[in-house]
Amino acid sequence: MPDWQKLVSQRLGGLALDDAEKEEICTELAGHLEESYAAFREEGLPEEDAVHRTLAHVADWRDLQRRILNAKRRGHPMKKRTHQVWIPGFLTLILSMIFLAVLRELGFQPRIAGSGPNTVLLYVPWLLSLPFFGTLGAYISSRAGDRGEPRCSPASFRCSRLRPRFY
């Protein structure tokens, strides 16, 4: 039986990772190859054929190195999403709510629009501040690596389309 750990370490020796990460990857891949080899041997294949079939799982070692490096560079997608979407979004929400509370403490009263069950309270200074808080959130998101690609069509936010849904 071949030494899978040594074989994988030789083939993936060019990985540009620190020693601990490289060792972890080599150990995991060697374990998979060893399991595959054992399965082929249990099927009754001779040792040489089992080794060839096991090595056939990794056709191109350079391509495997490239894919491992790409996966390591990208990092965890949830972490990226957290830094680009959730933190800026919650920060925008929290700052706007704090500003609304400060306005209420300073004595600003809402304007009343409508009457009866359709009454709407409008805090005009707060509404005017929302684009600034949104811009701050977008800036923080861009600092975290967001490229600013549109997530949806601006046409979906036209008032003419939203009005029938709310009235």
pLDDT above 80 for 167: no
Of 148, 146, 21, the C-alpha closest to 80 is: 146
Of 52, 85, 70, the C-alpha closest to 15 is: 70
User: Cα(57)–Cα(79) distance, rounded to whole angstroms?
Assistant: 31
Higher-pLDDT residue of 95 and 165 is 95
Bridge partners of residue 113, in order along the sequence: 120
Query: What is the value of pTM for the model shown?
Result: 0.46
Contact (Cβ atoms closer than 8 angstroms) between residue 65 and residue 14: yes
DSSP assignment of 1-35 equals ---HHHHHHHHTTT--S-HHHHHHHHHHHHHHHHH
In the chain, the percentage of residues whose pLDDT exceeds 70 is 84
pLDDT at 76: 65
Torsion angle of the four alpha carbons 21, 22, 27, 32, in this order, in degrees rounded to the nearest 10: 100
pLDDT at 150: 54
Q: Where are the alpha helices (DSSP H) in the chain?
A: 4-11, 19-42, 47-55, 61-74, 77-81, 87-105, 124-143, 159-166
pLDDT at 155: 46
pLDDT above 90 for 74: no
65-76 average pLDDT score: 76
pLDDT at 158: 45
pLDDT above 70 for 164: no
Render pLDDT for 87-146 as a digit per residue (tens, 0 to 9).
899 999 999 999 999 999 999 888 888 888 888 888 889 999 999 999 998 888 888 776
Average pLDDT over the chain, rounded to whole? 81
Higher-pLDDT residue of 139 and 18 is 139
Helices 19-42 and 4-11 meet at what angle, rounded to 10? 130
Listed by start position, the domains of the chain span 4-74, 77-149
With cut-offs at 50, 70 and 90, classify the pLDDT of residue 18: confident
Higher-pLDDT residue of 80 and 126 is 126
pLDDT at 149: 58
Of 86, 97, 124, 119, the C-alpha closest to 108 is: 124
